[in-house]
Structure 1
Amino acid sequence: MAQDPDCIFCKIVAGELPSLVVAEDDDTVAFLDVNPATPGHTVVIPKAHHRDLLTIDDDALQATLATARRVAATASDRLDAVGINLVNNCGAGAWQTVFHFHVHVIPRYEDDPLRLPWVPTPGDRDEITATHARLTA
């Protein structure tokens, strides 16, 4: 299993750093975030080191997302969450700070303080159509 000796998440996988594990299998581990956005905020990672969404292989991605779904279901059931955000930040420009692929499972509650920075507003139809053409060319 590929590891990066300087990666904080690889150190958690290796048992070199403490964590509060909430789920684990052969390929993934999920642990509570030490800087939680809401109660139950969990980080789900593949045990093998993959830098980000653009470099992770399909099998590791599938395993990580399956664990994230299990963690989300548990949080919804046991923490009485009214919703769940799954968040992945890919690259420094998207707020990725730990360069080991991970998914945040963030339980949401009535009146919780978390506000994400993006607020949907109607887009320009011509720009949307032009973007579509670029993506499908």
Structure 2
Amino acid sequence: MPTDRQPMDLTSYTARACRGPCFVCAFLAGDPDYLHETVFEDEDHIAFMDRWPTLEGKVLVAPKAHVEHAVRDLDEPAYARLMLFLRRIALAVEAVCDPERTYLYSLGSQQGNAHLHWHIAPLPHGIPYEEQQFHALMTENGVLNLPQDRSATLAARLRDAAGFRPGA
């Protein structure tokens, strides 16, 4: 994994996740404290760069509506549309990042980060096994210190790889 990591302030992050506004809804509303680099959005979904990535190219995908349960809150057609949107972004991540493996997972709880969202995390080639999987995903092991322009460039490359065009 890249060595340009910084420690994550887990105390502040936890307080923000548990007591702050919904991070996805705040981002969609344009709250400057919750800015993320958008990869793409359609009428119902949004994909954006992780603000605290543990792996370069890590993207979050969420429905725009405040949905908290993938199983209970989405009917089958809405779930299928979300998964197809997620897959399209994940394929773009694979095309741009050329990972050994692409991790797809959904986290959050009623206590914090309740808005349903999926993580797409590209594992680079050559990472020792003991530094893969959960180890590679945990912010406790530090987050990448990526300049905003690098994140914006990566988002643009992902848009191109997914075939997203303005107005598409």
Question: TM-score, normalization: structure 1?
Answer: 0.69
Aligned residue number for residue 122 of structure 1: none
The answer as to 2:52 corresponding to 1:21 is no
Amino acid at match of 1:100: H
How many residue pairs get aligned? The number is 110
| Aligned residue among 73, 81, 91 for 1:73 | 91
For structure 2, the 5+ residue unaligned runs are 1-19, 136-168
The answer as to 2:60 corresponding to 1:61 is no
For structure 1, the 5+ residue unaligned runs are 118-137
| Distance (whole Å) between structure 1 residues aligned to residue 39 and residue 84 of structure 2 | 14
Aligned residue number for residue 117 of structure 2: 102
Amino acid at match of 1:35: W
Amino acid at match of 2:59: T
Give the CA deviation at 1:56. Answer: 2.4
Name the structure, 1 or 2, with higher relative contact order (CA <8 Å, separation 6+). 2
1:2-26, Cα deviation, whole Å (9 max, x unpaired): xxx9311111122223210112111
Cα pair distance change 1:89/1:18, threshold 3 Å = closer
Q: Is the 8 A contact 2:108 2:115 kept in 1?
A: no
Q: Is the 8 A contact 1:46 1:63 kept in 2?
A: no
Question: TM-score, normalization: structure 2?
Answer: 0.58
| Distance (whole Å) between structure 2 residues aligned to residue 15 and residue 45 of structure 1 | 16
CA RMSD of aligned residues (A): 2.3
| Distance (whole Å) between structure 2 residues aligned to residue 85 and residue 61 of structure 1 | 19
